[in-house]
Copies of this chain bind each other. A is one copy, B any other.
Amino acid sequence: MGIRIHDVAARAGVSVATASRALSGQRGVRAENREKVLLAARELDYEPNSLAAALRSRTTHTVGMLVPRISNPFFATLVEAVENRLQLGRRSLLLTSSHYDPEAEQSQVRALLDRRVDALVMIPCHRERSIEVMTTAAARVPVVQLDLRVNGFAGTWVGVDGEAGIAAVVHHLAGRGVTRTAFVGAEPTDSSSQERLDAYRRLAGGSVLLGDFSRDWGKEAAGRLLEAGSLPEGIVCGNDTIALGMLAELARRGVRVPEDVRVTGFDDIPYAELGQPSLTTVRQPQEQMAAEAVRVLAARLAGEEAPAQRIAISPSLVVRASG
């Protein structure tokens, strides 16, 4: 139906091989012929069939990305940033989600590999159970773990330096005269929560409440802290969602923030600024993380041999009203 490279070659008066070389910018074609081919292609409005090219050259210029949940604004921002970076390199993004289910994750990765993606950006859904997918995937194409990482899997990871983030928060609170703090986080089923929890214990060591990364847990934790009697002076939350739930519940119960207690979050999701009061939190440099992840993959695809690395980018503290 469409125009084939055959037609372009015929119009330019050269062979298919020469046309192919001219169009892909290879050397070994006289300038005159190259011009003729490019002109013919433009005149015919030639659109190469990338499937045929991919089949023969074994390169799809497509990267697969797997995230636990696309609608999570934090992941969505990462997806956007990765897509932007890929666009710059004229690559496309095949996106799929695991819904936090390791089995679905496995079958989705299989589907991506079937489609012959050149590389994979993965946010593994489980700290331990994702190890099998990661190893099989990594055996076939370059893979980089983004944000979360799998225990005991020796592959490249790009993420944020959670310890530095918690340190910034603790330090900031200390600077405001806060000595007694509590930590409200999630059970460490992924590497981020683990790292933040460990950092808090090492750096501050107040009481610790663990649930999940949800607003409801934030509310419940607020209740528990209040009922426990003496409120701490500062509450360090494991992420913004928890912190927002915390703020809502504290407000409902008439506790003033930051007068009675200071509250901090982690991630700086778009709505952190909208909280009442606005949330002091740790901003994840998502643009940078995505850029770094794509850069690593591009280097691997360009043939660079590099050992697995852990690239931890330092986050920055965003001071707002709540802390």
Q: Does A77 contact B (CB under 8 A)?
A: yes
Collect the chain B residues with CB atoms within 8 Å of residue A52's CB.
Answer: 55
Minimum CB–CB distance from A289 to chain B (whole Å) comes to: 14
Q: Mark A64-107, 1 if CB is under 8 A from B, else 0.
A: 00000111010011011001100100101111110000000000
CA distance A47 to B137 in the complex (A): 14
Q: Are B62 and A70 in contact (CB under 8 A)?
A: no
B80 and A71 contacting across the interface, CB-CB below 8 Å: yes
Which residues of the partner chain B approach A87 to less than 8 Å between Cβ atoms? 96, 108
What chain B residues lie within 8 Å of A262 (beta carbons)?
Answer: none
- Which residues of chain B are within 8 angstroms of A215 by Cβ–Cβ distance? 274
Expressed in whole angstroms, the minimum distance between the Cβ of A278 and any Cβ of chain B is 9
- Are B96 and A62 in touch, CB under 8 angstroms? no
CB < 8 Å neighbour of A62 from B76, B115, B270: B115
30 A-B pairs whose Cβ atoms sit less than 8 Å apart in the complex: A47-B110, A47-B114, A49-B55, A51-B54, A55-B55, A62-B94, A69-B80, A70-B79, A70-B80, A70-B83, A71-B270, A73-B73, A76-B76, A76-B79, A83-B97, A84-B97, A87-B96, A87-B108, A90-B111, A92-B96, A92-B111, A94-B94, A95-B95, A244-B274, A248-B274, A248-B276, A251-B276, A271-B271, A274-B274, A276-B276
